[in-house]
């Protein structure tokens, strides 16, 4: 059974300047122990999707479509119940996610007391064990320290310890390493992979970094302007991308092995989602756009398990 199923999820935000459709009928699923990456640029709807799964959308948001956790429909009440227990999260900025007034150990222990009903003493012992497990050196001493006494990488480890303390079915990681230095980022992502393998937790990894996707995802959803542009197993997506947006995005990222004569440049800017263009939302920036692109392309299966929402796919 899938750990998570998202079925035709739509999200709208009511703003002073009209209704903004952040996410438009997206669907995907994640199996236990697997990582699904949602990749896209600012405003593509990836973070709104994460918040919708967690039931943490702002007051002015409306949501349509079904979200299922291990087959159970997630109502707002069910989300409240599951959050922190079966449904865990880590965010980009560990400093703002941790409570500055409690020690690292207390914050991990709180999750265990709340969700597993452990006594304060047992909870603290388990918390220290958890901090060891996320490879915090001298865990017993660090457990007594406050967030401001820890480095950025260490804080993110504490967040991971809190998130995984109750063995969740699903972990939503929204840009978990974007605020960290590259050597620390590599440590944290390797740690997440290892813990995922051990616990069978499914991971939804939200990122803008294609390199991170390439190294750590099993399956990828590429989002553009609130819709799924392409969905495929990771290896397949990088070997044979089919949606022009994915193709452009891969060409826009600089490479380490050689200097490109010029980076691929996707001209123009993302559309205003209060007034999106009709048809394919990428068409105004797409060098391959033709007349039919004025109609919305369905997400078609181009090859087994490889879907693209493009009238022109497969591109040869």
CA distance linking residue 286 with residue 19, whole number of Å: 26
Interaction between residue 257 and another protein (CB under 8 A): yes
The count of chain residues that interact with another protein, using the rule CB under 8 A, is 53
Interaction between residue 42 and another protein (CB under 8 A): yes
Stretch that binds another protein, among 21-29, 30-38, 88-96, 242-250 (CB under 8 A): 242-250
How is 80-118 classified by DSSP, letter by letter? HHHBTTTEEEE-S-HHHHS-TTS-HHHHHHHHHHHHH--
Stretch that binds another protein, among 84-92, 98-106, 167-175, 258-266 (CB under 8 A): 258-266
167 backbone φψ class: left, alpha, beta (φ>0; ψ -120 to 50): left
- In contact, 282 and 270? CB cutoff 8 Å: no
Interaction between residue 132 and another protein (CB under 8 A): no
CA distance linking residue 215 with residue 192, whole number of Å: 12
Tell me if residue 136 falls in helix, strand or coil. Answer: coil
N-term to C-term CA, the chain = 36
The residue among 108 and 189 lying less far from another protein, judged by its C-beta, is 189
Interaction between residue 252 and another protein (CB under 8 A): yes
The residue among 4 and 289 lying less far from another protein, judged by its C-beta, is 289
Tokens 């999820």 belong to residue: 9
User: What mask of x and - would describe binding to another protein in positions 143 to 182, judged by CB under 8 A?
Assistant: --------x-xx--------------------------xx
Interaction between residue 212 and another protein (CB under 8 A): yes
List of residues contacting another protein (CB under 8 A): 41-42, 137, 151, 153-154, 181-187, 189-190, 193, 208-212, 214-216, 239-241, 244, 247-260, 262-267, 269, 287-288, 315-316
């Amino acid at each position: 059974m899938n750990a998570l199923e998202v079925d035709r999820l739509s999200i709208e935000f009511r703003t002073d300047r009209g209704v903004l459709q952040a996410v438009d009928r997206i669907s995907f699923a994640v199996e236990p122990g697997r990582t699904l990456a949602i990749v896209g640029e600012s405003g593509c709807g990836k973070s709104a999707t994460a918040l919708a799964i967690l039931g943490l959308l702002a007051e002015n948001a409306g949501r349509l479509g079904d979200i299922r956790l291990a087959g159970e429909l997630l109502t707002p009440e069910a989300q409240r119940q599951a959050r922190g227990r079966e449904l865990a999260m880590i965010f980009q900025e560990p400093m703002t996610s941790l409570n500055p007034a409690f020690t690292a150990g207390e914050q991990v222990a709180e999750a265990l007391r709340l969700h597993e009903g452990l006594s304060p003493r047992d909870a603290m012992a388990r918390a220290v064990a958890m901090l060891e497990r996320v490879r915090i050196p001298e865990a017993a001493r660090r457990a007594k320290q406050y967030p401001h006494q820890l480095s950025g990488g260490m804080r993110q480890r504490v967040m991971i310890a809190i998130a995984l303390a109750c063995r969740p079915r699903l972990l939503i990681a929204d840009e978990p390493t974007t605020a960290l230095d590259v050597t620390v980022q590599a440590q944290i992502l390797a740690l997440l992979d290892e813990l995922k393998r051990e616990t069978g937790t499914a991971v939804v990894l939200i990122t803008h970094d294609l390199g991170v996707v390439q190294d750590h995802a099993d399956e990828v959803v590429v989002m553009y302007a609130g819709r799924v542009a392409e969905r495929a197993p990771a290896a397949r997506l990088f070997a044979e991308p089919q949606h022009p947006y994915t193709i452009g995005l891969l060409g826009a990222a600089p490479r380490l092995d050689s200097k490109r004569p010029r980076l691929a440049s996707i001209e123009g800017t993302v559309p205003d989602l209060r007034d999106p263009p009709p048809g394919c939302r990428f068409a105004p920036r797409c060098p391959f756009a033709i007349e039919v692109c004025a109609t919305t392309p369905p997400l078609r299966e181009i090859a087994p398990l490889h879907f693209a929402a493009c009238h022109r796919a497969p591109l040869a």
